[in-house]
A = this chain, B = another copy of it.
């Protein structure tokens, strides 16, 4: 079963079907392009988010990074930034390996389809032209035999006419003979045209058009294969970066595990311990000593 044999009379269907196939590829390219835009936008938002929450150089927040719970937030932000980079990579690879690749392929297919269809049209026109010649030739043959018939009847009638001269009879017979000769030539021409047409028609239906339709089928099957590869690439592109995205997530988990609350408490002590002793008891200030002294001296 192939299009050349089984769809020999479905030129328009094949024309439409192959167009619809190219349309699907075009649609898929557009779909992937829009996905890459979403992905780029997503990555950009993630990058802006990490930037917004990362401490400025020399800021108070940066100094806080001596505490592990601050430092780990910064580490997580950095991993998020790498994560965003991987989403950008997905967008870029989809654009390169699917959109650009399929668009190029699509151009070639469009050209190829156009060539096949124009060859089919040319073959069709050639057959039609031959048919017209045949029809013309056939009609001339019909007309000439009618004329020859009339000339023959006229000659017979003249021959039977008692008033006709011998010269009249001879002239009518010669006319009839000439007409029959012309008609015979037209018949031969018609027979030759018919043979030519039948040969061309056979060539058209059994060789030329099947070849063109099968080429279109082959083209369409190649298109389908390429498109199917494009579907697989769509997920492969993302699967490819998933381990790296997994590593970014591991990095965030590790940042969380690296937080040490005890060390953070000790870091505060190290930074701010004055080293002073706590105040000891106030001493008794005995004003009465002076007085007692005076009293005892008195």
Copies in the complex: 2
Q: Could you show 9 A-B contacts with beta carbons less than 8 Å apart?
A: A10-B273, A24-B73, A38-B45, A152-B291, A180-B291, A183-B291, A220-B264, A224-B259, A231-B253
**Docked-complex contact B7 and A273, CB < 8 angstroms:** yes
Q: Are B235 and A252 in contact (CB under 8 A)?
A: yes
A6:B269 contact, CB within 8 angstroms: yes
CA distance A234 to B191 in the complex (A): 89
Cross-chain contact of A232 among B227, B256, B266 (Cβ < 8 A): B256
A138-B285, A235-B250, A284-B194 known; A291+B148 contact, CB < 8 A? yes
Do B205 and A278 have beta carbons less than 8 Å apart?
yes
Complex Cα distance A220/B261, Å? 8
A97 within 8 Å of B by Cβ? no
Question: Which residues of A from 133 to 170 have beta carbons under 8 Å from B?
Answer: 134, 138, 141-142, 145-146, 148-149, 152-153, 156
Residue among B76, B253, B272 making CB contact with A13, cutoff 8 Å: B272
Given contacts A13-B268, A38-B45, A76 and B3 within 8 Å (CB-CB):
no
Task: Name the B residues within 8 Å of A14 (CB-CB).
Answer: 268
A265 near B72: Cβ-Cβ < 8 Å: no
- A92 to nearest B CB, angstroms? 17
Contact with B along A14-36 (1 / 0, CB 8 A): 10010011001001100100110
How far does the Cβ of A91 sit from chain B's closest Cβ, in whole Å? 12
Q: Which of B41, B220, B285, B288 contacts A265 (CB 8 A)?
A: B220
**Chain B residues closer than 8 Å to A273, beta-carbon distance:** 6-7, 10
Shortest distance from the beta carbon of A254 to any chain B beta carbon, whole Å: 9
Q: Given contacts A220-B265, A269-B1, A273-B6, are A231 and B259 in contact (CB under 8 A)?
A: yes
A18 and B189 CA atoms in complex are apart in Å by 112
Chain B residue numbers with a CB within 8 Å of A194 are 282, 284
Tell me whether B256 and A231 are in contact (CB under 8 A): yes
A295 within 8 A of B: yes
Chain B: CB-nearest residue to A146: B287
List which A239-298 residues lie within 8 A (CB) of chain B. Answer: 239, 242, 246, 249-253, 255-257, 259, 261-262, 264-266, 268-269, 272-274, 276, 278-279, 281-282, 284-288, 290-291, 294-295, 298
